[in-house]
Structure 1
Amino acid sequence: MEEKHMQSVLIALLRQDHVQLWTEPFISDQQKIRELAQKYVSATEFSLEEVIFTLESIRADTSRKDEGNKQFKETAVASLELHLPRTAENNRSRVHLKTKLDITAQELKKQISEEYGFTHFNLILSGKKLALGRRLDEQNVKNNSKMMVLKVSSQQEKSEMLEEEEKKRRQDEGVQRTQKGFQILSERDGSEDPVSTPFLEIADQKGNPLQIPDSERKALILAMGFHEKGRALLKKRNHSAALCHLLQADEQFNKCNSALLKTVDNYAVLQLDVVWCFQALQQLDCLNDARQRLERAEECFKRCYGEQQSRLQQIKGHTGGEDVLFLRLYLLQSLLAYHDGKKNQAFNKLRNVEELLGQLCLDPEKMLQLMTLGFSEQEARLGLRACRGDVEAAERLISQRKKEKKELKEREREKRRCRLQDINTLVELGFSKRDAARALHQTRGDVDKAYTVLLDGAEAQSSDGQTKLDQCEMMLMLMMLCVFIHDSNVVCVCAASAWSRLDEDLVNEVLEDIPRHEEDYLDLTLDEEKELLLQIRSSLEKQSSSPPDRS
């Protein structure tokens, strides 16, 4: 980390001064490098020897990359930077290897073994071990990629190979099961038996159903389903599996209406979660992608919440709960600033984090007061943060939420009772139960229109203008979309829904990962955030005695 930081600091200074080390006079005049190094010693905490060595390294790397890029463009032969383990025979820690990218990792391994004499080792790219049977380009290996050669014992290599294959198989299977389960639910539109068949629909934070075009609804359910599964894995600190699901969620969100993504904060929260996985897995090669994702998240929060969170205050009546999102945003921004060599910016963001942390760390006595009243730990934590530590206000807020949920459940039960009654009315007129339920769903519960649809044998569709109006109304009221489980306490009944046993298992499995509290995404214990804060602060304090940078 320190070597990369040193290089980042000097690269930032070179760019600031518009210095190009790969041009004259630096190519032929060593004294010019030394003079430049002496200038930068006073602006950094590094010694003269360290600065000279790093400048030479930057110059050599740039020249090599230029040549390598030209060669790759002409011949498709890539240059890889290998970080080798030091041995008695080989004292080099970094070498460059030329290779095609359409070969397998096993073939590359054989080439490295022949050139450098290593027998048992793994190839690590961005914190992940390369799968031996897959091609390099399929595993994101590119020209100028940096790769670690990690020595292992013969038995360890065999064990790790088997373990990795099993882990990959389970991970792929997990993603596939999640996708299949939510696909089944996304295709359930409430037209099946309204009493025995659970289905999902998009709702606002209070559980009120929203009218969304069918194609977009399916993509949203898949996106939010993958996100919830990823978040469940994040809580278990299984960051590798979480990242797989979160990237799938990102892919599905990008199929949705761009105006929708800019208006709700789900997409912004997802970007934070992806970057959180990057840092947890120490995927420093993903810094550029991480930077772009944090920019998108910050822009989305500003649009959703308004200036000084004014829109959020107007809709929800409080803003304290969302501070955990900004704490994580500032923390990740501080980490990226540090790696970019922008020490002042990193310190400033860290101060924002520490200020928010002071507000979000709750008094145990206040937590106990609320839990003694019968509220859960999650309810108490979310309530206190939303009300910024005011116990009485938190008690009122939690009680109001419980009342609203109870009323919603009663309305939903009545809605289903009426729906079943309407279905039976149409069945008595000679239509099948399934066709009657589907027609009612298409006409939003209007029995007369459903009867007309069934008679005509056509599907009623809303006009484009009405659809756009519905979307506009939805966007004005939304802050965070929720996947709402209808009658979540109902077990899937195969006889009533004609589902296969596999469908039933998959559906029950994915429903377990959908949180019952609409603000579960705000319920962070902040333990991981405190750990990362201490790491960044420690790295920055090592440089605290040096002159400030010019970032």
Structure 2
Amino acid sequence: MNCWLMMKGTVDLLVRHADGALPIEEFDIQLEDQSGNKVHFSETDRLSIMTGLMLHTSGKRFIRKQMFTEALEALTMGEEAFSLCNPKSIELVDNIPILQIDMVWCYFMLQDIAWIAVAGLRLKNAREGLERAHGKDSSRFRLLQAGRTSELALYLRLELLEGVVAYHSGQFDKSRKFLASAQEKFFQLQVPDEALSLVMSMGFGEGDAKRALRMSNQDIQSAVNFLVVEREKREQKREDDIRRRNEIMQVEQKRYGVTPLKKAVDLQRLTEVVSIG
């Protein structure tokens, strides 16, 4: 059975868990088949996936800070966490291939030629994993993403790294092929100033406008529609966060009951007292 791993609230989890606001147990991962039917998997798989996702996110933060050695350590641990999962549960998701690409990017930025052989193997596995997840020529991915091409930058990075590895392995023809394809994708990702200005004039930031135009093949209307829907989703998420926070507070309030004066226990004061010891 073909299954899709629906990472429900993954980004929310990573942010809120990092802040210590909500424990990992408060979140769920849903596995669905192509008909939308839920498929359940083990607690071990669930925890392994969440651990892998958080370590991957940590690694990407280090990459943004150009701390590539630390990033590689986090990504390696993330890969180990994913390896504990049942392969059938995650074979059609792209988190692991992307993690492998990020690892090779760290090799590249560290300029360590000793990693060339390992890098080549990781990139091969990453390409195969992306093809399983996205379909041949990304057909499955575009179907799920309503025809948008958000994966273009991902494949650009993959082909750039494949070109570098092929070059250092003496495979010059293959290297030229990969690099030419990467260059073509780079040009596709360039955003015309006029289109960018039009989208920004509708109240969207430059970064969001560029991203939406790239995902929409520079189509202004599609980009605006995408950003409007995304904004609505963010607002819904904010409301869900507030509701969830209130639910947790209510559970905590019920747990501690009331004071002798029949007033609700002040949870903030209680936390301060407990922290004092």
Q: Same fold (TM over 0.5)?
A: yes
Q: How does 1:404-419 map to 2 (within 5 A)?
A: 404-411=233-240, 413-414=242-243
Task: Measure how far apart 1:407 and its partner are.
Answer: 2.9
Q: Deviations over 1:92-120 (max 9, x none)?
A: xxxxxxxxxxxxxxxxxxxxxxxxxxxxx
Residue of structure 2 in register with 1:379 after alignment: 208
Residue of structure 1 in register with 2:186 after alignment: 357
Residue of structure 2 in register with 1:293 after alignment: 122
Task: Measure how far apart 1:373 and its partner are.
Answer: 2.2
Q: Which has the higher helix share?
A: 2
Residue of structure 2 in register with 1:258 after alignment: 87
Task: Measure how far apart 1:360 and its partner are.
Answer: 0.7
Q: Deviations over 1:21-41 (max 9, x none)?
A: xxxxxxxxxxxxxxxxxxxxx
Counterpart CA distance in 2 for 1:226 and 1:243 is: 10
Alignment CA distance shift 1:342-1:394 (3 Å) = same
Residue of structure 2 in register with 1:189 after alignment: 25
Q: Deviations over 1:467-513 (max 9, x none)?
A: xxxxxxxxxxxxxxxxxxxxxxxxx9694599869xxxxxxxxxxxx
Counterpart CA distance in 1 for 2:269 and 2:113 is: 48
Specify the code of the residue in structure 1 equivalent to 2:111.
Q
TM-score, normalised to structure 2's length? 0.75
Task: Measure how far apart 1:417 and its partner are.
Answer: 5.4
Task: Measure how far apart 1:314 and its partner are.
Answer: 1.9
Residue of structure 2 in register with 1:269 after alignment: 98
Tell me, what secondary structure is at the counterpart of 1:362? Answer: coil
Task: Measure how far apart 1:349 and its partner are.
Answer: 0.9
The one of 135, 140, 145 equivalent to 1:316 is: 145
Q: How does 1:128-277 map to 2 (within 5 A)?
A: 188-190=24-26, 202=29, 213-277=42-106
The one of 229, 234, 239 equivalent to 1:400 is: 229
Structure 1: state its 5+ residue gaps.
Answer: 1-177, 191-199, 205-209, 435-491, 502-551
Matched, 1:346 2:171: no
Task: Measure how far apart 1:283 and its partner are.
Answer: 1.5
Tell me, what secondary structure is at the counterpart of 1:252? Answer: helix
Counterpart CA distance in 2 for 1:498 and 1:225 is: 31
Specify the code of the residue in structure 1 equivalent to 2:102.
D
Query: Contact 1:201 / 1:221 at 8 angstroms: preserved in 2?
Result: no
Specify the code of the residue in structure 1 equivalent to 2:55.
F
Query: Contact 2:48 / 2:85 at 8 angstroms: preserved in 1?
Result: yes
Task: Measure how far apart 1:216 and its partner are.
Answer: 2.8
Tell me, what secondary structure is at the counterpart of 2:150? Answer: helix
Counterpart CA distance in 1 for 2:49 and 2:268 is: 26
Q: Deviations over 1:385-422 (max 9, x none)?
A: 1101111210111101111332344355456656777x
Residue of structure 2 in register with 1:370 after alignment: 199
Task: Measure how far apart 1:336 and its partner are.
Answer: 1.3
Tell me, what secondary structure is at the counterpart of 1:189? Answer: helix
Tell me, what secondary structure is at the counterpart of 1:320? Answer: coil
Task: Measure how far apart 1:345 and its partner are.
Answer: 0.8
Alignment CA distance shift 1:238-1:493 (3 Å) = farther
Q: Which has the higher contact order (CA 8 A, sep 6+)?
A: 1
Query: Contact 1:219 / 1:255 at 8 angstroms: preserved in 2?
Result: yes
Alignment CA distance shift 1:379-1:420 (3 Å) = same
TM-score, normalised to structure 1's length? 0.40
> Percent of aligned pairs with the same residue?
25
Tell me, what secondary structure is at the counterpart of 2:155? Answer: helix
Query: Contact 1:186 / 1:218 at 8 angstroms: preserved in 2?
Result: no
Counterpart CA distance in 2 for 1:225 and 1:395 is: 31
Residue of structure 2 in register with 1:450 after alignment: none
Counterpart CA distance in 2 for 1:433 and 1:259 is: 44
Task: Measure how far apart 1:258 and its partner are.
Answer: 1.6
Query: Contact 1:223 / 1:248 at 8 angstroms: preserved in 2?
Result: yes
Aligned-residue CA RMSD in angstroms?
3.5
Counterpart CA distance in 2 for 1:496 and 1:371 is: 45
Q: How does 1:67-106 map to 2 (within 5 A)?
A: none
Specify the code of the residue in structure 2 equivalent to 1:383.
A
Alignment CA distance shift 1:285-1:188 (3 Å) = closer
Task: Measure how far apart 1:284 and its partner are.
Answer: 1.3
Task: Measure how far apart 1:185 and its partner are.
Answer: 7.6
Query: Could you say which structure has the larger radius of gyration?
Result: 1
Specify the code of the residue in structure 1 equivalent to 2:202.
L
Q: How does 1:435-514 map to 2 (within 5 A)?
A: 495=270
Query: Contact 1:186 / 1:222 at 8 angstroms: preserved in 2?
Result: no
Counterpart CA distance in 1 for 2:171 and 2:145 is: 37
Residue of structure 1 in register with 2:111 after alignment: 282
